[in-house]
Structure 1
Amino acid sequence: MTVDTARQSIDAALRNPQLIEAALALSEDRLHDAEPLLRGRLRDVPTDVAAIRMMAELAARIGRLKDSEALLRRALELAPSFGAARANLATILYKQNRFPEALEQLDAVLAEEGDNPAQQNLKAAALGRIGGYAEAIGLYKDLIARFPDHAKLWMSYGHMLKTVGEQDSSIAAYHRALAVEPTLGEVWWSLANLKTVRFSDADLAAMQAALSSDGLSDEDRFHLHFAMGKACEDRAAHEDAFAHYAAGNALRSAELHYDPQTTTAQVDHVIGTMTPEFLGLREGAGNDAADPIFIIGMPRAGSTLIEQILSSHSQIEGTMELPDIPAMAMREARALESDNGKEEGAAWLSAVAEMEPERLAALGAEYVERTRIQRKTAKPFFIDKLPNNWAYLGFIRLILPKAKIIDARRHPLDCCFSNFRQHFAKGQAFSYDLAHMGRYYSDYVRAMAHFDAVLPGYVHRVIHEQLLEDPEGEIRRLLAFLGVPFEEDCLNFHANTRAVRTASSEQVRRPINRDGVDQWKPYEHHLDPLKAALGSTWIRYPAL
C-alpha cells in the first residue's frame, strides 16, 4: 500500500458511519458496543487501518497490550505514514516497560510531525526510565515554558528534579503545580513522599479544602489522604494520621482487588518444585554473566540504602528498580499458556521447568542485553534493586546462576506499617490492607527460607537494624560476599550524587540514622490484623 493510498484509506475510513459509531462508543467507554462494530468492519475490509487502530485501542483498554501492539504494527505495515498509529505504538511499548523501543517510535513520530507536545512529554518520561535525566529535564523545561498552566507537566518536572537530587527545585515545581490545580492529590503526595517536607498549617488547610471539593476523583482523594496522614504524623496526631492512612488504603485496595491466596499458591509452587533434585538436574545451565547484583525483599525494607552504599563503590553501578525479570518470566508463562491452549495463566515456573539448558542461557543473555541501556559507566558490576524479584528468585537462579543475591530485611511491623503509609505509583497491590501485607511478608519469608535450605549461602541477608547499629561491619561482610574490596566511600554513601528514583531518595542522601525504627509503635493498637497475619514472624525476628 503506497503512502497516498494509505492516506486515502484513512480519510475514507474516518467518514464511514460504522467507524464513527464505534469511535463514539470508545469515547464513552462502551467497549461492548465498539467491539462488534469494529470486528464487522474488519471482516468486510481487513486492511482498514483506521479500524485496526481503533481495535488496538480497545485491546489496550482491556489490558491486552500484546494484542494492541500486534494490531498497531499491522496498521503501520499497511500504512507506514500513519503517525497516529505510530504514536499509539510508542505508548503501548512504554506501558510494557520497553522504553528504548518506545523512544525509537517517538523519534520517528517527532521527525515526521515536528512539534508534538504530547509525544515530547512521553519521550521525557521514557528518557527518565532509562537514565536520560538531563535530556528529559530539558524537554520538560521547554514544555512548561510553553504550557505554564499545565499542572501535571510541573508535577512530572518535579519528579525528575527529585530523582537527580535537586530537592529545592523539585519542591518549587510541585508548588507551581498546586498553584494551578490545588486539588491535584498526586502533587500533595509527592511533597509528602520526599519525607523531608513538613507541611505548614496553611498546607494542611489547603489539603482539607481539597478533600471537601465537589467531584473530587478517587485518585485525588486517596493521594490526599496519604499526604494528610504524613502531615498529621509530623504533628504527632497519630489517631488522625491513621484515619487518613486507612481511608487512602481502603480506596486504593478497592481498585486493585488483590487476592493474597495467589501469592501463597505461587510460593507453594516454588517450594514444591525447586527441590535439590530439580536444581541439581539444571546445574551448569544458564548464562555465566556475573555482573548483575539483585537486591530483593519487601519494599520499604532498606534496599535503597543498600544500593546507595554499594553504588558508592568503584566497581559497582547503581541503576534502578528494573522491570525486566518479571516481564521476561511472565512472557514465558504466557507463551506456555498459548502453546497449551490454557485459559488461565501458567506460572513462569511451569515454563522454565520444560526448558533446555540452551534456552535458559539465552534468557540470561537476554536479561544482560536488555539492561545494558541502564548502565552509564564501565563498572564491572551493576545493581537491579526491584524488591519484588524475590518472587522470581528461582527464575534468576536458572538463567543467571552466577548473579549475586542480597535480601534486604527489616522488622516486620516497621516494614509493613511503612508500606501501609506509602502510596506506590504502581504495583504493590498487597500493601493497601494490613492483613494482606502480613500474609505477603510471611510468604516472602517462607520463600527465602526455602532457598536458604536448598541453596545454602546463595543469598546474603542484610538485617536493616544491624546495618544501622554496625554499618562498617555489615558493609564489610556485604562487600566480602560480593567479592570486592572494602572502600571508605561506601561508609560515606550520603555524599553520592547519583540519581535515585525510589521513595527513599532523600533519606539515602543523609548519613545513617534510626529515624525509621519503631515507627509502628504509636499505632500498635490498630495493627492486630497485621500481627495476626504475620503469626509469630514479628515476635521471632530477626531469627526467622
Structure 2
Amino acid sequence: MRTAKPSDVQTRLATSTNPQRLLDAGAALVENRLDVAERLLRAHLKDDPFDVAAIRMMAELAGRIGRLGDAESLLRRAIELEPAFTAARANLALVLNRTGRHADALELLDTILAEEPDEIGHLNLKAAILGRLGRFDEAIATYRAVLARAPRQPRLLLSLGTMLKTIGKLDEAIPAYRAALDFQPSLGEAWWSLANLKTFRFTETDIATMRSVLADPALGPEDRVHLDFSLGKAMHDAKDHAAAFAHYRAGNSLRLESQPYHAAEVTTLVDRSIAVATPDLFAPGRGGETAGDPIFVLGMPRAGSTLVEQILSSHPQVEGTGELPDLPALARSAGQYPGLLTTLAREQRTDLGADYLRRAAIQRQTDRPRFIDKLPNNWQFVPFILATLPNATIIDIRRHPIGCCVANYRQHFARGQAFTYDLADLGHYYRDYVRLMAHIDTVAPSRVHRIFYEQLVDDTEAQVRALLAACNLPFDPACLSFYETERAVRTPSSEQVRQPIYRDALDEWRHYEPWIGDLVDALGPVTASYPAAPATFGTQS
C-alpha cells in the first residue's frame, strides 16, 4: 500500500494516545515483521479504537497478507471517522484497483487528485488504473507528464515501458526499460520486463551486469527473483540449459518462500466440483442470464490462450478484453463455492450472470456484440459459467502436459499463479485441470470446445474455422492473419501473437528432461494419454 505523506503521518501521530507504539508498529511494517506490527496495532486499537492512523496501518497489514476485504473495511472505517484522511482514501483506491473495481478506484482517485493534483503517487496509481481500464493513451500521457516533472523515477519508467509494450510499441518500451536500469541497475523487474518480451535478446554486457547485481548479498529477494528468471531466459537463449534451469529453480524456490502453495486445496475444489456438477444441474430451464455475449478462453497459462484471443479478436464481431477478475470474485462472493451451485434459485442464477456482464462491461471499449474473457484459471469455475451464463461459449485451449508445465516453470508471474513455483505442484495442478474438464465433458457434452495447441500450429486454418463455428461466428480471413491485428495485449505472450504461428517452442521442454522428474511423476497418466484424458487418474501422490 502507498505510504502516507510525512505531514499526514505527523498530523495523525500528534493526535494519537500512544505515538511511540504507532511508530514502533510502523517500523515493524517497514521491516516486514508483520506479527510484531499486528500485536502492537491490536493492543493500540484496544486502548483507542478510534485512532484512524492505527486503523489505516492495520489495513495496510491486512493488504500485505492478502486480506483485501478486511483492508477495505478498515479503510472505510478510517474515512468514516476522518473524511479528510487523504492517505486512507488513496489506500482505498489502491485496494479497489487490486480487487478489480477499477472504475470505482478511478472515481475516488479523481477526487483525491482534485485536492492534491501534483502528488506523484496519486498520478502513478491513476495511470495504472487507466491501463487496467484499457485507456492506454491516457495512461501513457499521465506517465509522461509525471516523468517530465520528475525524470529520475525508475519505477515510473518501468510502468511506462510496460504500458508501451502492451500496445505493441517496443521501439519505445525498450528505451524506457533501459532508462530505468540506468538509474537503478538492481531493479530486477526492469530486467525481467526485457526478458519477458520473448523476442528480446540480452547482450554479453547485460548478462555480466545482471550477474554482478545478483552476486550482491544485500540484494532484496524481490529483485533477486526477477534477476534469476532473467538470467534463466538469457542462458536458455544461449543454449546453456543446465545454467538456465539452475536460475529458474533458484527463482521459483525463492518465490515459493513468500507465496506458499497448497496443492490439496485445488484437488479438494475439483473433488467437490465433480460431486455437485451433475447433468441435472445444467439442465435447460434452470435459470441463468441468457445472453451469449461472453466467450471464455480458459485452461493452463502458457497453453495458447492469448493466441486464441488474438485470433478471435481479429473477427469484426469480437472484442478482446483480456483476463478479467470478475468471474472468480462472483463465484466466491456468492457463497461457499462450489456447493452453492446446488442451492441457487433460478432468479439467483440469472442475477449472478447479469452481474458478471455488468462488471465485464467496464472493460468493453467497442460496440462489438461478443467479448472474450481469457483468464486461464477460469477452468475452476466452468460449473459456475454453465449455471449462470448457459449460452456463453467456453473454449478450452490445451497444450502438451510437460511442455505446458515447463513453460510455466520458466515464466515469472507477478501474482496469482503460485502453483507454478514447484514442478510437482505444477503437475498436480495440470492433472486436476484435466480431471475436472473430463467430468464436464461427461455431464455437459459438447458445451466446451477444445483446441489442442499442437493441432492449431499444424493445421491453423482448419482449427480456426472450427473455433469460429463453435462460437457461432462466420468465417473471416482476418482471423488467419491475426498477427496483423493491432490491439493491446497484457500477457507474457504479447509479442509472440504479433507474428505468425511457429513451431519452435513445441519441444523446448526436452532440453530440461534431466531435471523434471518430479513433474513427470506428478502428471501421472495424463502425459501418456494426451491429447485424450486418461480413463482413470489414479491417486495424487
Point out the more displaced range, 139-148 or 375-384: 139-148
With over 3 angstroms needed to count, the CA separation of the structure-2 counterparts of 1:474 and 1:51, relative to structure 1, is same
* 2:159 pairs with one of 146, 156, 159: 156
- Asked if the contact 1:22–1:33 (Cα under 8 Å) also holds between the matched residues in 2, the reply is no
Q: CA deviation at 1:278?
A: 3.4
Corresponding residue number in structure 2 for 1:21: 21
In the alignment, which residue of structure 1 is the partner of 2:114?
Answer: 111
Q: 2:309 matched to which residue of 1? A: 307
Q: CA deviation at 1:492?
A: 0.6
Aligned: 1:494 with 2:494: no
Structure-1 residue corresponding to 2:325: 323
Counterpart check, 1:220 vs 2:223? yes
Q: Counterpart of 2:235 in structure 1: which amino acid?
A: C
Q: Does 1:540 align with 2:529?
A: yes
After superposition, what is the alpha-carbon deviation per residue over 1:4-37, rounded to whole angstroms, capped at 9, x for unaligned?
xxx99x9576343414422431332355555566
Q: 3-state DSSP class of the match of 2:18?
A: helix
Q: Cα deviations across residues 72-119 of structure 1 (Å, max 9, x unaligned)? A: 223323332222221121112122121111111110100122211101
8 Å CA contact 2:464–2:479 kept in 1: the answer is yes
User: Counterparts of 1:351 and 1:246 in 2: how far apart (Å)?
Assistant: 39
Q: Does 1:199 align with 2:188?
A: no
**Corresponding residue for 1:59?**
62
1:507 is aligned to 496
Task: Answer yes or no: is 1:446 the counterpart of 2:449.
Answer: no
State the SS of the aligned residue for 2:321. Answer: strand
Asked whether the equivalents of residues 13 and 51 of structure 1 are also in contact (C-alpha less than 8 Å), the reply is: no
Question: What per-residue deviation string (whole Å, max 9, x for no partner) do you get for residues 411-456 of structure 1?
Answer: 1111111001100011111111111111111110001000000001
Q: Which moved more, 1:12-21 or 1:205-214?
A: 12-21
Distance 1:240 1:39, change over 3 A: closer
Distance 1:252 1:39, change over 3 A: closer
Percent identical across equivalent pairs? 52
Letter in 1 for 2:300: M
Q: Does 1:274 align with 2:277?
A: yes
Which amino acid counterpart does residue 513 of structure 2 have in structure 1? E
Conserved? CA contact 1:163–1:501, under 8 Å = yes
My pick for the range that moved more, 55-64 or 221-230, is 55-64
Q: Are residues 1:180 and 2:169 paired?
A: no
TM superposition score normalised by structure 2: 0.93
**CA RMSD across the alignment:** 2.0
Return closer, same or farther for 1:12/1:316 CA change in 2, 3 Å cut-off. Answer: closer
Whole-Å separation in 2 of the counterparts to 1:436 and 1:238: 22
Matches of 1:107 and 1:360, distance apart in 2: 35
Please tell me whether the aligned partners of residues 19 and 37 of structure 1 are also in contact (alpha carbons under 8 angstroms). Answer: no
Q: Structure 1: 5+ residue runs without aligned partners? A: 1-6, 334-346
Distance 1:428 1:283 in 2: 36
Amino acid at match of 2:26: L
> For this pair of structures, how many residues does the alignment match?
524
Counterpart-to-counterpart distance in 2, 1:67 and 1:329: 19
| 2:177 pairs with 1:168 | no
CA contact (8 A) 2:245 2:512 kept: yes
Can you list the C-alpha shifts for 1:262-318, whole angstroms capped at 9, x where unaligned? 1111111111111223333x7431111210000000000001000000000010000
Partner of 2:104: 101
Displacement, 1:233? 1.1
Q: 1:237 aligns with which of 233, 236, 240?
A: 240
Tell me how far apart the structure 1 counterparts of residues 12 and 286 of structure 2 sit (CA, whole Å).
59
Indicate conservation of the 8 Å contact 1:297/1:408, yes or no. Answer: yes
Q: CA offsets, 1:215-235, max 9 Å, x none?
A: 011111111111111111111
Three-state SS of the structure 1 residue aligned to 2:394 is: strand
CA offsets, 1:345-378, max 9 Å, x none? xx41123322211111111111100111111111
Deviation at 1:213, TM superposition (A): 1.5
1:360 and 2:363 correspond: no
Please tell me whether the aligned partners of residues 28 and 36 of structure 2 are also in contact (alpha carbons under 8 angstroms).
Answer: no
Whether 1:70 and 2:73 are equivalent positions in the alignment is yes
* Aligned AA (1:367): Y
Residue pair 2:13, 2:22 contacting (<8 A) in 1 also = no
2:538 corresponds to:
none
Q: Helix, strand or coil: the match of 1:348?
A: coil
Tell me the distance in 1 between the aligned counterparts of 2:372 and 2:342: 27
Contact kept in structure 2, 1:23 and 1:34, CA below 8 Å = no
* Residue aligned with 2:334, SS: helix
Q: Partners in 2 of 1:53 and 1:247 — Cα distance?
A: 36
35-44 or 422-431, which deviates more: 35-44
Report the residue type matching 1:52 in the other structure: I
Q: Which moved more, 1:26-35 or 1:369-378?
A: 26-35
34 and 171 in structure 1: CA distance in 2 versus 1, 3 angstrom threshold: closer
Q: Do the aligned residues in 1 keep the contact of 2:276 with 2:341 (CA within 8 Å)? A: no
Contact kept? 1:19, 1:51, Cα under 8 Å: no
Task: Summarize deviations over 1:238-284 as a string: whole Å, max 9, x none.
Answer: 1111111111111112222111111111111111111223333x743
1:351 aligns with 2:335: no
* C-alpha spacing 1:36/1:536, structure 2 compared with 1 (3 Å): closer
Q: Which amino acid aligns with 2:328?
A: P
Deviations 1:511-536 (A, max 9, x none): 11112111111111212111111112
Corresponding residue of 1:342: none
Deviation at 1:321, TM superposition (A): 0.5
Distance in 1, Cα, partners of 2:92 & 2:382: 32
Mapped pair 1:374 → 2:377: no
Q: Is the 8 A contact 1:18 1:37 kept in 2?
A: no
Query: 2:214–2:227: 8 Å Cα contact kept in structure 1?
Result: yes
For structure 2, the residue ranges without an aligned partner over 5 or more in a row are: 1-6, 534-541
Task: Summarize the alignment of residues 449-528 of structure 1 with structure 2, pairs less than 5 Å apart.
Answer: 449-528=438-517
Name the aligned partner's letter for residue 274 of structure 2: I
**In structure 1, what is the equivalent of residue 388 of structure 2?**
399
Give the residue type in structure 2 aligned to 1:25.
A
Name the counterpart of 1:338: none
For residue 405 of structure 1, what is the amino acid of its counterpart?
I
Cα deviation for residue 498 of structure 1 reads 0.3
Cα pair 1:191 1:197 within 8 Å, conserved = yes
- Which amino acid in 1 is paired with 2:532? A
* 8 Å contact kept, 1:159–1:170: yes
Give the secondary structure class of the aligned counterpart of 2:105. Answer: helix
Residue range with higher mean Cα deviation, 223-232 or 63-72? 63-72
Counterparts in 2 of 1:78 and 1:494: CA distance versus 1, 3 Å: same
